[in-house]
Amino acid sequence: MIDPMASDLITTELPPEEIELAKKRRVVDRLAERLADAEEDIADLRTELERFEARYTMEVGRLYAEQDEIDAQIAEEELKLVPDDEEIKKKVEELRRLADESAARARAAADKEAEQWEPTAEARKAYHELARSIHPDLVLDVSEKERRHSLMAELNRAYSSGDQVRLKRFADELRVSPDAVKGGSLGDELVRAVRQIAQIKKRLAAIMSEKQETVSGELFILHTKAVEETSAGRDMLKQMAERAKTHIAKTQRRLENLRNVNRSAEEYVKDRFGMDISEFR
């Protein structure tokens, strides 16, 4: 049986650099685990909000886009009544721009909705392990850090899009990666560990800042409200869509009335003076 006092002596006889390095490596391991968790959480948050934004745009935003188009057409009909009115001309230009932007967002959301994916438990585990292994803040060399930034971005894209094949390829590549090889002098290792700790803490702070900015944004607040409404048995997006449809029906009637007025004016001028003024509008 080893005497506890003797064990203490053995420990204290280790060079202080080795003792400190062992401590620092334990800290690096703990922080690396936290960093992998944080990267996974923020990636999940981004993915969740992207899916919600796509659903919002498809169910509600597309109706708003339709409303914007109707508003632009109403302004265009109004301009036909007073073609020299500069204020209405500016209004037409602005509403047309908004309508085109809304239509583009609706089309982009439709494409994103088609790519929707729910990560499996296996994918989450793979992402966590890979993020922990290739995170750029775990290395000091500038070129290696840049390479890892690219790898991390590719990993995030693979995870968000549900590319299981790419996730597996990442794992296979890591088994033979130079990153798995340890080397260097004791002093180098100690400096490396100290800087790794500083870099990981910096990245953790950046993730926290991104998360705080995200949760204070309009999209996250709307998403949170939708979740609360769902828990209460209500579909907030569906209700918003119904209100939008009611407003669209109302403004559609106004658009038709304006078109009728303009058609009547064109017919009157044609019958009275034999002119087709529609060509000048």
Q: Is the pTM of this model over 0.95?
A: no
**Closest-CA residue to 162 (of 126, 109, 118, 125):** 118
Q: What is the pLDDT of residue 116?
A: 54
Q: What is the pLDDT of residue 182?
A: 53
| Tokens matching residue 124 | 């989450």
pLDDT digits (tens, 9 = 90+) for 213-270: 999 999 999 999 999 999 999 999 999 999 999 999 999 999 999 999 999 988 888 8
In this structure, are residues 24 and 201 in contact, taking their beta carbons and an 8 Å threshold?
A: no
DSSP 8-state symbol, 170: H
**Per-domain residue ranges of the chain:** 15-176+184-280
The residues of the chain scoring below 70 in pLDDT are 1-12, 109-119, 161, 163, 170-184, 277-281
User: What does the alpha-carbon distance between residue 74 and residue 5 come to, in Å, rounded to a whole number?
Assistant: 91
Backbone phi, then psi, for 120, in 5-degree steps? -85, 170
